[in-house]
A and B are shown apart, each in its own frame.
Chain A
Amino acid sequence: MTPSIKVEQAPSVQYMLRLADTTLILGQRLGEWCGHAPVLEEDIALSNIALDLIGQSRALLTRVGQLGGQGLHEDQLAFLREERDYRNATIVELPNGPGRPGDFAFTVLRNAMMATWLRLMWERLRESSDSELAAIAGKAVKEARYHQQHSCDWVVRLGDGTDESARRLRAALDTLWRYTAELFESDEVDAAAAANGLGPRWDALREPWLAEMQALFDEAKLPMPADSAFRSTGKRGVHSEHMGYILTDMQYLQRAYPGGAW
């Protein structure tokens, strides 16, 4: 049995871990579509996005391993932590929709929201005081720009498509919107990152993100939802009931075959 690992709690490490876990878990969720997308071409497109996100996470986790001072490998960080030590925003751990692989409208709307958020984040991280993080951002921002284009196109197609596609997209928006607030809340981790130039406070992304969502929703004939008082707390390690299941899927192999590699 491989014991779980603990990660350094320093704010700079936590800041990167939040981003690493957010891309990791979203990549894992999108991977569930592999072999199940509505058409072959979109199946490959979704898998490409998932692999881009996993790649971003790998680079970030490697950096976290270097900074943490414990010599942890990306695989140990990705697969051997306990639920409370994952720091992704809750929105990315939500299932793709009812059943497997889930709802396509929900998937593309979350992708559009997250790709826009990540693009804004990577653009700013290119100026990070951590040169490694800046380099990761320089590569990732190109990927995020494409993810945004592809997923926003789908949102417009579905929102301005048939009655059924519009209904599903609105239902997805109703579910997702309250989870977006967490993406724009800042705490001591953000304050430290902003102070030493590591990266922006998450709340600094709110205005530009909302402006892009407003433009997208207008085109997709979606109403801008009202703010909710609900606050998810995944980035502090307190997750939804869905997190345990996704970790079970992800961690099975590393727990059953410790150190297993290709």
Chain B
Amino acid sequence: MSEIKSDPMKGQGTKVAAANEWPLWEVFVRSKSGLDHKHCGSLHAADPQMAIQLARDVYTRRQEGSSVWVVRSDQIVASDPADKDMYFDPMEDKVYRHPTFYKLPSEVDHM
């Protein structure tokens, strides 16, 4: 936002372009053998129905998927890259949080 304010002309151009563009959606695809949906890209679409169809058309053309999710990009709350050191660096020296120090019963999979 600060970037747009610093250049009034650029800010206007961005606004006009955004008003004429369909909203952005993030696409998550679950592969045939996969257990979870993985983020694979984004696309523009006018509404949820169009978004799910275009996600199918754009991201599953080569048998990548057996299920697709789409979510409006502006609905995703993301961590601020500037907070990266505060958020994630303190975990560097806490190896004891990994479960590798415990003996697991052999029946337990997928840990």
How far is B55's CA from A48's CA once the two chains are assembled, in angstroms? 13
Question: B40 to nearest A CB, angstroms?
Answer: 14
Verify if A255 is at the interface (C-beta below 8 Å from B). Answer: no
Question: A89 to nearest B CB, angstroms?
Answer: 26
Verify if A45 is at the interface (C-beta below 8 Å from B). Answer: yes
Name the B residues within 8 Å of A39 (CB-CB). Answer: 22, 44
How far is B53's CA from A44's CA once the two chains are assembled, in angstroms? 11
- Contact (A45, B57) CB under 8 Å given A153-B49, A153-B50: yes
Question: A167 to nearest B CB, angstroms?
Answer: 19
Verify if A207 is at the interface (C-beta below 8 Å from B). Answer: no
Contact call A41/B49, Cβ cutoff below 8 A: no
Contact call B61/A42, Cβ cutoff below 8 A: no
Chain B interface residue count, CB cutoff 8 Å, equals 13
Name the A residues within 8 Å of B44 (CB-CB). Answer: 39-41
Across the A-B interface, how many residue pairs have beta carbons closer than 8 Å?
A: 29
Question: A144 to nearest B CB, angstroms?
Answer: 15
12 A-B pairs in the complex with CB atoms less than 8 angstroms apart: A39-B22, A41-B45, A41-B54, A41-B57, A41-B58, A44-B57, A45-B53, A146-B56, A149-B53, A150-B53, A157-B46, A157-B50
Chain A: number of interface residues, binned into ranges:
10 to 19
Q: Of all chain A residues, which has the CB nearest B56? A: A146
How far is B54's CA from A146's CA once the two chains are assembled, in angstroms? 11
Partner of B58, one of A44, A146, A153: A44
Contact call B53/A153, Cβ cutoff below 8 A: yes
Name the B residues within 8 Å of A48 (CB-CB). Answer: 57, 61
- In A26-45, the 8 Å CB interface with B consists of 39-42, 44-45
Q: Of all chain B residues, which has the CB nearest A150? A: B53
How far is B61's CA from A48's CA once the two chains are assembled, in angstroms? 8
Q: Of all chain B residues, which has the CB nearest A42? A: B54
Name the B residues within 8 Å of A42 (CB-CB). Answer: 54
Contact call A44/B22, Cβ cutoff below 8 A: no
Verify if B43 is at the interface (C-beta below 8 Å from A). Answer: yes
Question: B57 to nearest A CB, angstroms?
Answer: 4
Q: Of all chain A residues, which has the CB nearest B43? A: A41
